[in-house]
Amino acid sequence: MNETSNISFDNTETAFAAKSDKQLKKAHFLFSIMGKPWLVKMGLKLTPLAIRWHLPFTKPVIRNTIFQQFVGGETLEQTAPVAAKLMQYNVQVILDYGVEGKEGEENFEHAREEFKRVIEYASTQPNIPFMSVKMTGFARFALLEKLDSIMSSLSGSLMKRYLTAVDKLSAEEKEEWHRVRLRVMQVCECGAAKNVGVFIDAEETWIQEPLDALTMLMMDTFNKEKAVVFNTLQLYRHDRLQFLKDSFEAAEERKFILGAKLVRGAYMEKERKRAAEMNYPSPIQPDKESCDKDYNEAVKFCVQHLDKISLIVASHNEYSNLYTTQLLDEKGLPHNHPHVHFSQLYGMSDNITFNLAKAGCSVSKYLPFGPIKDVIPYLMRRAQENSSVSGQTGRELGLIKKEIKRRGV
Ligand SMILES: Cc1cc2nc3c(=O)[nH]c(=O)nc-3n(C[C@H](O)[C@H](O)[C@H](O)COP(=O)(O)OP(=O)(O)OC[C@H]3O[C@@H](n4cnc5c(N)ncnc54)[C@H](O)[C@@H]3O)c2cc1C
């Protein structure tokens, strides 16, 4: 499976070329720890408490371990050396202002300014073509939840349900939603003006409907000539392959380029738990195999329509990445086709990123930044992902060990 398309993900010399011996050993230590689920479970419980209680050792410990592995820095400026290092290996960067879970109009306004600042900065850099946004950074979670719940109770197209749902809000809520739309619009406008792509992250299913609708509206506005705005589709949901096809139909009808960032999804356990607790059918696929099948089908659908879809393969799955390059080969398209981009999270799957870059693919690292206390939810998801995904930590650790042995350090 690893040798198709003349690309191999087994070359650890290429994979870890950017890492010093010391960094490699640190990564070895960290992935060994994350391989122990009981330790991760304990860490997930204790870390938020330690942060809340301002325990003096907490921040230095986090900064020197998991933060350093998965985050670019505490400020935008601190990401510069990381981006410069990645550029040496033809790896691009997607900047992510990783602050999560902050509510209140003041914080939302601040987030909008921060995102615009990220775009301005990215536009001056040679290897930062995209940035990513979480709409929960701009909107009250409860308002999104309300809109979602109204939309889900209606039938008809996404847009029709969205417009009806907004209409059902109170006058005050309508004004609040208007401010959300303005914030999103201003960020996308800035992205379009500065030629920096804007990825809208996918979040929990119980707020996703208004996120999808607003993102479609943004694509309709800004993606007429080229893809500026990208929606994220979580293929761990059993309805997303159909949603991709529906989105494509809407894009064809409205004559815009569909920006499609494909992920499997980061909230599986939370989704299943909520569905069980509230007694509704789980939105998640019955098993990993079905999730993989839909993911790869979605990739295939996008590659079949590359003239009208701009695809981001956002995955650490070796097969899905290779499969994309194979599909391009079959169609006689170059691996660096302008409508195909690969991306992995910073700190994970360097074997995929760096080997894709070496093979001439357009590939990036998704690089979050932000103050330690504000990126804790992101770090928690990474710790959880690396301990719960079967084989993930084992694979990372195996590759790191192989490279340590090769270097003889
Ligand atoms: C650039 C980038 C951007 C991202 N943006 C987002 C985003 O906006 N929103 C978001 O939610 N996530 C996002 N992610 C995170 C992403 O969802 C996880 O990293 C991803 O799910 C891990 O899957 P994988 O494709 O790397 O492959 P794998 O490691 O092969 O798959 C693991 C994933 O498969 C799914 N899965 C595992 N077991 C089962 C099962 N039994 N049944 C059904 N499904 C199962 C889960 O989604 C799990 O995370 C992003 C990732 C990247 C690389």
Is 283's C-beta closer than 6 angstroms to any atom of ligand 1?
no
Does the beta carbon of 344 sit less than 6 angstroms from any atom of ligand 1? yes
CB atoms within 10 A of CB 74: 18
- Ligand 1 pocket, residue 205 CB under 6 Å: no
Q: Report the pLDDT value the prediction gives residue 396, as an integer from 0 to 100.
A: 86
Which residue has better confidence, 69 or 144?
Answer: 144
Question: Whose Cα sits closest to atom 53 in ligand 1?
Answer: 344
361 CA to middle of ligand 1, Å? 21
Q: What is the reported pLDDT for 189?
A: 98
Over 60: is that where the pLDDT of 199 sits?
yes
| C-alpha distance from residue 295 to each of 85, 152, 323 (Å) | 31, 24, 11
Q: What is the pTM of this model?
A: 0.94
d(CA 29, CA 407): 17
Are the CB atoms for 328 and 335 separated by under 8 Å? yes
Per-residue pLDDT of 300-336, as tens digits, reads 999 999 999 999 999 999 999 999 999 999 999 999 9
Paired tokens of 260: 């499609």
* Residue 391 pLDDT: 53
Q: What is the arithmetic mean of pLDDT over 389-408?
A: 82
- Asked if the model's pLDDT at residue 219 lies above 50, the reply is yes
Residue 81 Cα to ligand 1 midpoint, Å, equals 28
Output the CA 316–ligand 1 centroid distance in Å: 8
- Distance (angstroms) between ligand 1 centre and the Cα of 267 equals 8
Task: Tell me the chain's radius of gyration from C-alpha atoms.
Answer: 21
How big is the CA angle at 139 (ends 133 and 143), to the nearest 5 degrees?
135
Joined tokens for residue 200: 């809208």
d(CA 111, CA 374): 12
**CA 51, chain centre distance (Å):** 25
Cα 54 to averaged position of ligand 1 atoms, centre (Å):
32
pLDDT at 5: 58
For 258, list phi and psi in degrees, rounded to 5: -80, 120
The values of phi and psi at residue 259, to 5°, are -95, 115
Eight-state DSSP code of residue 257:
P
Ligand 1 atom with minimal separation from the 285 CA: 43
Q: How far is the CA of 225 from the centre of ligand 1 (A)?
A: 30
Distance 389 CA to ligand 1 centre (A): 9
CB 243 within 8 A of CB 297: no
Whose CA is closest to 135, among 171, 175, 93, 185?
185
Rounded to a whole number, what is the distance in angstroms from the first to the last CA of the chain?
Answer: 30
Pocket probe mutation, ligand 1, options 263, 312, 346, 356, max atoms within 8 Å of Cβ: 263
Tell me the pLDDT band of 4, cut-offs 50, 70 and 90.
very low
* Residue 208 contacts residue 240 (beta carbons within 8 Å): no
Q: Is the CB of 347 under 6 A from ligand 1?
A: no
Report DSSP state, residue 64. Answer: I
Q: Say if residue 277's pLDDT is above 90.
A: yes
Closest-lying ligand 1 atom to the alpha carbon of residue 364: 1
Least confident of 19-23, 100-104, 167-171, 207-211: 100-104
Q: Which of 344, 340, 351 lies closest to 395 in space, CA to CA?
A: 351
Instruction: Give me the pLDDT at residue 393, please.
Output: 61
Q: What is the pLDDT averaged over residues 202-217?
A: 98
* Cβ pair 25, 65 in contact under 8 A: no
Ligand 1: nearest atom to the Cα of 320: 25
- Higher-pLDDT residue of 392 and 76 is 76
pLDDT in the model for residue 80: 96
How many A from CA of 289 to the centre of ligand 1?
13
Give the number of C-alpha atoms closer than 13 A to the C-alpha of residue 292, restricted to the C-beta side.
Answer: 10
Please answer whether residues 265 and 385 qualify as being in contact, where contact means their C-beta atoms are separated by less than 8 angstroms: no
388 pLDDT more than 60: no
Q: Which of 86, 131, 205, 264 to mutate to test the pocket of ligand 1 (most atoms within 8 A of CB)?
A: 264
CA 204 / ligand 1 centre spacing (Å)? 13
Cβ atoms 378, 100 nearer than 8 A: yes
Helices (H), 229-375: 240-254, 268-278, 288-304, 318-330, 350-358
Residue 392 CB–ligand 1 contact under 6 Å: yes
Ligand 1 near 284 CB (within 6 A): yes
What is the overall mean pLDDT for the chain? 93
Ligand 1 neighbourhood includes 356 CB (under 6 angstroms): no
* H/E segment holding residue 80: helix 80-87
Of 298, 184, 279, whose CA–CA distance to 234 is shortest? 298
Contact 196, 119 (CB under 8 A): yes
- The angle that helices 376-388 and 37-52 make with each other, rounded to 10 degrees, is 170
